[in-house]
Amino acid sequence: MAMTGMCRYICALSGLLLGLVLSVSAGAETSASADVSASAGIGASTTAGADVSSETWILQPGTELVGEVGTVIARQEDTLTDIARMHGLGYEEIIWANPGTDIWLPGEGTVVTLPTRFILPSARSGLVVNIAEYRIYYFHQVDGKPGVSTFPVSIGRMDWSTPIGRWSVLAKQKDPAWYPPESIRNEHLTDGRGVLQKVVPAGPDNPLGRYAMRLSINGYLIHGTNRPVGIGMQVTHGCIRMYPEDIEWLFPQVPVGTPVTIVNQPYKFGWAGDDLYLQAHPPLEDDKSTREREMTVLTEEYVQATRDRPAQVNWRLVEDVYRRHEGIPVRVGTAIR
């Protein structure tokens, strides 16, 4: 796979001085350049094995989980955002898994948990974005076998939400220009950020980055960024924003016409053999419907996961996982034979 640990290390170092910038992203009502390419992508290039890389796995029969939780020792110069990017994680993910750790100064010798094990979302075809965990999944063939690749993303903030539903990749563009709509240009003026031009050409000042995939819902894109420090946060104008190195790999793999399913699934149950796991994330701040009925939503997910396979569950542990919201799968039950 194109992304290696060294690539992530170099990319992380390049973002050290950026700080935490909640930058404007191309979002709802945004247009890329008019000459969008509709060429199909190419197949994934990976090596064989159940764990192909830190981001791509061959799916194994009988399990709905991929990856493993890891740890690293922080150096004096590290921030949690540096560590997150080097290991294919986003801002919120690394914070959830390391409560109480200072994000900007974790401290030399601090053990940092890497939440790099995932329960697959309920939708498992094409591109699937689970906004509750700030993560995109790409289900595709890996060496002729069913596989999945997953990456952290940023999503739309409260007043510019990322739309739930089933869409598709309508077109693709390398080095897109950005045509910010009047609403975003007015926002720039109101916020004191100055005049935003009607056309932002490709280059280092373009918030779309070097690659963009237009969705079939008008005005929404999956794209790169020129501000990678904010990946894994709710900060865009509705679009789905990725690390530059992640979108660079994903862009040629995804053909035009690929289905895109956007879901909001803060609680996921999944089977690994006879063991039942729960992965819990905090509901989005503006997700009032889930926040008002969190345990009901969690129970509904449990019922769906055990509909055809009953389980004996430790409900005290389920409640503990739910309250911690650390985004790490925990075994909470076993199958009843």
- Residues annotated as part of the active site: 223, 239
Question: What is the C-alpha separation between 93 and 322, in angstroms, rounded?
Answer: 15
Range list of β-strands (E), 83-185: 111-114, 117-119, 126-130, 135-142, 145-156, 165-174, 178-179
Q: Which residues contact 169 (CB under 8 A, 6 or more apart)?
A: 127, 213, 214, 215, 216, 222, 254, 255, 256, 257, 258, 260
What whole-number distance in Å separates Cα of residue 95 and Cα of residue 231?
13
- What gap in Å lies between CA 55 and CA 148, rounded to an integer? 8
Apex CA 210: angle with CA 204 and CA 212, to 5°? Answer: 135
Angle at which helices 315-324 and 294-305 pack, to 10 degrees? 130
Strand partners of residue 58: 147
Strand partners, 234: 155
Distance CA 90, CA 62 (A): 28
Copy the structure tokens of residue 120.
Answer: 């697959």
